Structures are given as C-alpha cells and as structure tokens.
C-alpha cells in the first residue's frame, strides 16, 4: 500500500460526458502528479500541483483540468470525453517542494482509476 | 523539456540469464533517475534509483549505472526469475526541486522458465 488513494477504481461512461477522478496523497506529501496510461502506452505526465498551486503542466488536453484543494487532495476533471480518453489514470504524490533535503525524488503511485469511454 | 528514450521495448530472456535495459535523457540538469516496475494492471513501484552524484548503485540482483557525460543510464538484472516478468520504466527528474518524473516508453520483460 503506497498510501495514495484514488477513487473511483473503475468508471464506464459515454462519449461527450464529464467525469471527476479523485486523489488523496500520502500523509505529509505536498505534491500531487497526474499521469495517463493508455493501452500499451507509457506513463504520460499531465499536470503537477504543489501545496495548492499548479507547478508543472505536461501534455494535458484543454478538455482536462485539475486542482488541488486546501486539504491537499486533488481532482482531475475530464470533459467532452472521447473514445481515445479511455485509459488508466494514475495519481502520485511526493514530499515535493524546494526545501533542500525534503524531497527524495520518489513518487508514490495510487492504484489508478480505469476510465472506459463507450 | 526533458525527453527520455528507452530501449528495447520488449525483452525476452531465459530464467537465470541477465537482462539490460537502456535509457537516454535530454536535459543535462536532471539529477534523479529512478526505475519503476509495473505488473499487469498494477501501479508502478520503485525498484531502484540513482542520483547524478553516483555512477553505480546495486541492490541484490538489480543494479543501475549512470553516465552523465553521455546522458544515459541502464538497469541490469542478474539471475532473472519468472517473477521479474513485468514492464519496466526508467525516468528522469530534478529531485531537489520536487520535479515531475518524465518516463521512458517502457520495456516489457518476459522471463521464460
């Protein structure tokens, strides 16, 4: 158990719909990262938040958005869903930050949310 | 931004043989290079990592080497076992800035009994 919790584990929806994926980081971790893993694909970085602020953005579509709340949990919102959005979405957390020695670099991954768009 | 290339995409070995997976990175500022193992349908899990001030690190049957000049690093697994079968990902980041991990494309390792 990594300590990172993601819900829901599985989600089936139709094209054009909107879904929200939720992530609770490990206790004490300030950084949250979202990754997308499509079938037979690698781990594509979407976005990173640190202590409520957006820190880095990857190849995240405009139809997708995310935020990190004051209690440090994060949500990834996917809208106007297309068949190609079907994937496993991972959340990861780390201590993060700019404080020397505070970050080991390791990311701890949740079990993922498997999204199927029909 | 950082780009990580990983080879080979698939690797099949006999039980007991060694396996080597290679990665190159583009950003010379990257200073942290972890390797993650992902079993089918599971989350990626860290198996070994190395920082830029170290050239080699070993943990039992697993070792990682880093060549900063050439900007490449490798994973070596010795005495492979069937339970080593999985997808392995290399990655790079700036660890002391809480940096995101940029992953390679992954290597599917199959160890045949």
Chain A contact set for B42 (CB, 8 A): 111
The reported pLDDT for the residue numbered A97 is: 56
Residues 51-110 on A with a CB inside 8 Å of B are 55-56, 58, 90, 92, 94-98, 100-107, 109-110
Q: Which of B8, B98, B99 is best to mutate for the A interface (most A CBs within 10 A)? A: B98
> Is the preceding peptide bond at A39 cis, omega within 30 degrees of 0?
no
* pLDDT, tens digit, 9 for 90 and up, residues B17-32: 999 999 999 999 899 9
The answer to whether the CB atoms of A33 and B101 lie below 8 A apart is yes
Lowest mean pLDDT among A84-93, A95-104, B26-35, B50-59: A95-104
Residue B20 and residue B80: Cα distance in Å, rounded? 11
Of B43, B98, B101, the CB nearest to A110: B43
CA distances from B51 to A5, A67, B43, B56, B93 (A): 28, 30, 23, 9, 10
Region B62-88 average pLDDT = 97
Chain A contact set for B93 (CB, 8 A): 105
* pLDDT, tens digit, 9 for 90 and up, residues A33-92: 999 999 777 899 999 999 999 999 998 999 999 999 999 999 999 999 999 999 999 999
Supply A16's token pair: 């054009």
A67 Cβ contact list (under 8 Å, min separation 6): A49, A74, A75
Q: Please name every residue paired with B51 in a beta bridge, in sequence order, or none if there are none.
A: B32
Lowest mean pLDDT among A27-31, A88-92, B4-8, B73-77: A27-31
């Amino acid at each position: 158990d990594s300590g990172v919790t993601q819900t829901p584990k599985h989600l089936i929806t139709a094209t054009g719909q909107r879904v929200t994926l939720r992530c609770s980081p490990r206790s004490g971790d300030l950084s949250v990262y979202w990754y997308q893993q499509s079938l037979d694909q690698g781990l594509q970085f979407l976005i990173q938040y640190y202590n409520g602020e957006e820190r880095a953005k990857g190849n995240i579509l405009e139809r997708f958005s995310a935020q990190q709340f004051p209690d440090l949990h994060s949500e990834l919102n996917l809208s106007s869903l297309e068949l190609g959005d079907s994937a496993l979405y991972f959340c990861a957390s780390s201590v993060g930050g700019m404080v020397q020695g505070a970050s080991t670099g390791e990311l701890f991954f949740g079990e993922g949310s498997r999204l199927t768009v029909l | 931004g950082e780009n990580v290339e990983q080879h080979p995409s698939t690797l099949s070995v006999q039980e007991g043989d060694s396996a080597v997976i290679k990665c190159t990175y583009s950003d010379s500022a990257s200073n942290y290079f972890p390797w993650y193992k992902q079993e089918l349908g599971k989350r990626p899990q860290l198996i070994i990592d190395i920082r830029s001030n170290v050239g080699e690190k070993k943990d039992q049957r697993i070792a990682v080497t880093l060549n900063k000049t050439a900007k490449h690093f490798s994973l070596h697994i010795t005495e492979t076992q069937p339970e080593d079968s999985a997808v392995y990902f290399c990655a790079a980041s700036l660890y002391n800035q809480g940096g995101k991990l940029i992953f390679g494309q992954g290597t599917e390792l199959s160890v045949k009994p």
